[in-house]
């Protein structure tokens, strides 16, 4: 399996992690890529996090939230020190991150962006996020995710 920029970033930082591979072709069922990962891995949807690229006051910003919830744009704007947040154009998200939609990782992005990780991640010993391609998740301690992405944590998920 070829190493993605996310995997290389974890190896360089010497962070303990494990990779989980699954068939992303099951994504056609309408559950979204995160839902496919949860189902394929038999994981807790509160422990698997999706990476969303947004715009806060026009600036690209990454939000990392549980697959089982929805991003609260108002809470994200406040956490990022802005007034208004909206989802970024998918093309902008892909160009900025260097990843394709459905495989955007918060780690190893082409351009480091301000990042907010939902604080629910801290309740787990490990969390899963995209490892940089569809069908590949990386499991790591949430403190390492926050440290490597230079994220702030805040309650930015609606359940």
Domain boundaries of the chain, sorted by first residue: 15-158
* Distance separating alpha carbons of residues 79 and 42, to the nearest angstrom: 31
Does pLDDT of 2 surpass 90?
A: no
15-158: in CATH 3.90.960.10: yes
Percent of the chain at pLDDT > 90 equals 86
pLDDT digits (tens, 9 = 90+) for 74-100: 999 999 999 999 999 999 999 999 999
Please state the pTM of the whole predicted model. 0.94
């Amino acid at each position: 399996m070829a190493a993605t920029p996310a995997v290389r970033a974890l190896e360089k930082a010497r962070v303990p992690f494990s990779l989980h591979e699954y068939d992303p072709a099951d994504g056609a069922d309408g559950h979204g890529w995160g839902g496919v990962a949860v189902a394929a891995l038999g994981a807790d949807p509160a422990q698997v996090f999706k990476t969303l690229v947004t715009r806060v006051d026009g600036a690209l910003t990454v939000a990392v939230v549980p697959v089982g919830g929805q991003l609260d744009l108002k809470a994200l704007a406040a956490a990022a020190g802005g007034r208004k947040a909206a989802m970024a154009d998918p093309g902008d998200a892909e160009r900025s991150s260097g990843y394709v939609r459905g495989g955007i990782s918060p780690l190893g992005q082409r351009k480091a962006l301000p990042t907010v990780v939902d604080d629910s991640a801290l309740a787990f010993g490990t969390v899963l996020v995209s490892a940089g391609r569809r069908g590949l998740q990386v499991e790591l301690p949430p403190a390492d995710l926050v440290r490597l992405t230079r994220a702030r944590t805040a309650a930015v998920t609606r359940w």
